[in-house]
Homo-oligomer: A and B are copies of this chain.
Amino acid sequence: MRTPRRLAAMLGLSALVSLTASAQSPLTPAMRAEMERLSGAALASSRAPEILRSLTDSVGPRLSGSPGDRAAVAWGLATMKALGFSNVRAEKVMVPVWRRISESAAMTAPYSHPLAVTALGGSVSTPDRGITAEVVEADSLAAVDALGEKAKGKIVFIWKRTERRKDGAGYGETVPIRGAGAVRAARVGAAAVLIRSVGTDNDRLPHTGAMSYEERTPKIPAAALSTADADLLHRVLAEGKPVTLSLLLKTETGPDAESANVVGEIPGREKPGEIVVIGGHLDSWDLGPGAIDDGAGCAIALETARLIGSLPVRPRRTVRVVLFANEENGLRGGRAYAADHEAELAKHAAALEADMGGDRAYGFSWNAGPGAERFLNEIATFLSGLGAGDFRKGGAGGADISPLLASGMPLLGLRHDASRYFDYHHTANDTFDKVDPAQLNQATAVFAVMTYALAEAPEMLPRIPEAERTRRRGGD
């Protein structure tokens, strides 16, 4: 507790509070002025929408190891150079290669119905003739376990709605079904697993996403039905008649391919060796051009650095943009960055990620050491003017920067309003038109203010305590 403030509060002297708070603020008037300037510039004429348009229109889908992935790396390098960044380079990352070839599904009894289906990322193929089997339904992984013998040779169908929430928490509740459904269904002898898309929409565009197998369990095909088709199947199953379904998936897994983290910098004016890393991930799923996941985050980070580079006086520290490789199906980019830069991580002041779409930002999640609150509270107060003062302690900022947690550097994640995010996430519908330029500019303003503050603050924020450096990856 700061004594003058406490005293003032006790005396009810709010004017004194603000006076003393201001006198003691870790944000100098000069810093505040630059933060105002950045925010104003981002809101008025951010290039983030145009950067995003360029990525989505000229590159399109860019799953790790695909031709689109290679085009995205080239785009990242060219864009950073065009924006005037320094030390622009591709840092090699070997990524897994998985490819969707074809997919179809249909209900065959009691009614005949085509179903909108997509293979989950990493799924094996069905036999060439497909799998035709009776369907058994479950509403959770535990319910799959409980099917026991009833699942043998069947297609296990896991039906659970994903709830729409501003903070995207509904995703966290259902995504384990996507990730572990195949293993759990295989353990009870299922021939395949089919899930209700992890999404909040009602479009007939299924959501793909990562899933995994385990060594000693048979690898069974895994796919998602669009929410509308899953609800149809759920209704027909409720009629009580046996339901059969045919599923055909053809996919391919290849040897690892070369991709890269794309890196560029705005060198610091005073402590260029101290680094604030900002980024999003450059890869996307294959179904769509990844405008919200995570073209938006890339655009926000790139434009943040451009705006900071355009200031009359650059901040103390270096701002390093990293467009991470392979977030979606491997996290190899984030891991490679942490490993390759291990020697300089002690000089990383912080890492920030934007990976929750392009809608308005309402705050940050943050993780740092004791004493960071005071500085961050000041920023939150500043950002509340942009509607983004809702800070939440915890987590690892985002999937790509989560491997940096072990180093103890402060990690921050931009909190976007994710109410719409899971309507489009991992679908063919994740296209440029889903991003509202005004909201993307606001999010850019918020990200730029925080980045600048961390790059200009006299001291680096306190590190995350040792005991808290082993949390699991956050975000997606």
A57 touches B429 (CB 8 A): no
User: CA A313 – CA B111 in complex, angstroms?
Assistant: 39
B204 touches A111 (CB 8 A): no
Which residues of the other chain, B, contact A236 by a CB distance below 8 angstroms?
57
Number of interface residues of A (CB under 8 A): 33
Q: Is A235 an interface residue (CB 8 A)?
A: yes
Q: Is A214 an interface residue (CB 8 A)?
A: no
Question: Quick one: closest B residue to A434, CB to CB?
Answer: B202
Question: Quick one: closest B residue to A233, CB to CB?
Answer: B57
Q: Is A345 an interface residue (CB 8 A)?
A: no
User: CA A99 – CA B125 in complex, angstroms?
Assistant: 29
Q: Is A228 an interface residue (CB 8 A)?
A: yes
Which residues of the other chain, B, contact A57 by a CB distance below 8 angstroms?
111, 113, 232, 235-236
The minimal Cβ–Cβ distance linking A65 to chain B, given in whole angstroms, is 16
Q: Is A163 an interface residue (CB 8 A)?
A: no
**In the A-B complex, the 8 residue pairs with the closest CB atoms:** A204-B428, A228-B431, A60-B113, A202-B433, A58-B111, A204-B429, A228-B433, A203-B203
6 further A-B contacts with Cβ under 8 Å, apart from A67-B112, A116-B428, A231-B432, are A57-B111, A61-B114, A202-B431, A203-B205, A203-B429, A204-B429
Can you report 28 A-B residue pairs in the complex whose CB atoms are below 8 A from each other? A53-B235, A57-B111, A57-B232, A57-B235, A57-B236, A58-B110, A58-B111, A59-B111, A60-B111, A60-B112, A60-B113, A60-B114, A116-B428, A202-B431, A203-B205, A203-B429, A204-B205, A204-B288, A204-B428, A204-B429, A204-B431, A205-B205, A227-B433, A228-B429, A228-B431, A228-B433, A231-B433, A232-B432
